[in-house]
Amino acid sequence: MEGLFILVNIVVLVAIIGLLIYMQKKHVSFSKRVFTGMGLGIVLGAILQAIYGVGSDVLVGTLDWYSIVGNGYVRFLMVIVVPLVMVSIIRAIINLEKTKELGKMAGWVIGILISTTLVAALVGIGSAFLFDLNAEQIEAGQAESDRAASLEESYATMDGQTTPQRILNFIPSNIFLDMTGERSTSVIAVVIFSIIVGIAVLGVRRKDPEQAEMFLKIVNSFYAIVMRIVTLILRLTPFGVLALMAKMVASTNFAGIIELGKFVLASYVALIVMFIIHLVLVGVFGLNPMTYLKKVIPVLGFAFTSRSSAGTIPLNIQAQKEALGVDDGTANISASFGATMGQNGCAGIYPAMLAVMIAPTVGINPLSPEFIIQLVLITAISSFGVAGVGGGATFAAIIVLSSMGLPVGLAGLLISVEAMIDMGRTALNVNGSMISGTLTSKILGKLNMKKFNDKEAVTENTAV
């Protein structure tokens, strides 16, 4: 009987996918299809949980099949990240007029990412104070205790590794290993290797133009093929969002969310405030915040459902180039760097809020200026090297809490709402990445204002 129910649930998902395909044939815009998929995914997930209950065999079996569509789509995106980043950055550097432009570009991108993370930490601290968050108010069950033990174990493996040592991990020692995404800093390592290759080609061009030209033709051929693959994969976005959202809602522990409702609310208030600060920054640099918002919403929608900054890199790059008018090099560097460092949500707001919550449990006054200054600085510095996948926030929290001398295990108290908060954090991370690219391009005078202001230049043009 269980098999029959699972089959029915699969048929329902296939029917909704059929509806989205029909919308595509009727030329409904990409963003509308993405948000239709998201909305229907929420409804489907809620119905599945209401009928079968969390943890039931039917629901577990159903979501296992749904993962083929949802997680399968994320895997397709992940598989194209390395070739896309490598070829795009090499090509962008070769097209630079001067190599010093590269330093300026990377400097501004990293500066904006880290600066906004510092501000995000302050916002997180403010929200924790506003809602009077305290870890002593949360009861620990078996799941929380298991999570705490896991965090303590993770901390033990990281203990003793200094910030310079973590930054050293950015430098590749085996580029083929990093191409597999084996390390949390693999994307940055690939970026660094690609930059070295690009600079080397510029040197060869001066001494042996013919060889450089031949290499450029090969790179351009690879670029054309990779971009075609990206377009094919991005067509699947509405289906992936549908399945991911259905799975998330169906498996969410709403009882846990109600119990920790104050922390969830405080987290989203902080995320929204930081998102508004992003839009204000856009306005300060002479760009229309609402124009920017309309063009990035489909990307943020996918980031929200997938909970993967790294998986969003292809969409991020495409939206920056085709919708916002960001130059090729800046779009690639900001998307790649933003997936690993300076994540406003995971590495800024979240660890800062946790530190304020946990400090009273060990007799530390979180209101003291010394504590706040130390926390903000450690959060900004530690934002280097946060993995751009689900779990990156935990990694950041362990670094910050251990650096502040706070018990790492208490972060496990929030396991029941981790997924719900992580969705918003990831969307903010990706938006911070896109902000850094857009503002850097504007500062360097490379932003295509005509494309930025063109209402027809939107994300869906890259995925139809």
Residues 6+ apart with CB under 8 A from 62: 5, 6, 9, 10, 48, 52, 250
User: How far apart (Å, rounded) are the C-alpha atoms in residues 92 and 251?
Assistant: 43
User: How far apart (Å, rounded) are the C-alpha atoms in residues 308 and 73?
Assistant: 12
pLDDT value of position 202 = 85
Contact (CB, 8 A) for 354 and 412: no
pLDDT at 259 over 80: no
Identify the domain containing residue 377 by its residue range.
2-462
CA angle 2/4/5 to nearest 5° reads: 65
Q: Compute how many other C-beta atoms are within 10 angstroms of the C-beta atom of residue 286.
A: 9
pLDDT value of position 166 = 66
- Range with the poorest average pLDDT among 41-50, 128-137, 445-454: 128-137
Query: What are 135-177's pLDDT values in tens digits?
Result: 765 554 444 455 545 555 555 555 455 667 666 777 888 888 8
Domains of the chain: total: 1
Q: Look up the CATH number of the domain holding residue 157.
A: 1.10.3860.10
pLDDT at 389 over 50: no
Q: Compute how many other C-beta atoms are within 10 angstroms of the C-beta atom of residue 171.
A: 11
Give the residue from 445, 59, 456, 123 showing the smallest Cα distance to 272.
Answer: 123
pLDDT value of position 412 = 61
Q: What is the mean pLDDT of residues 212-239?
A: 87
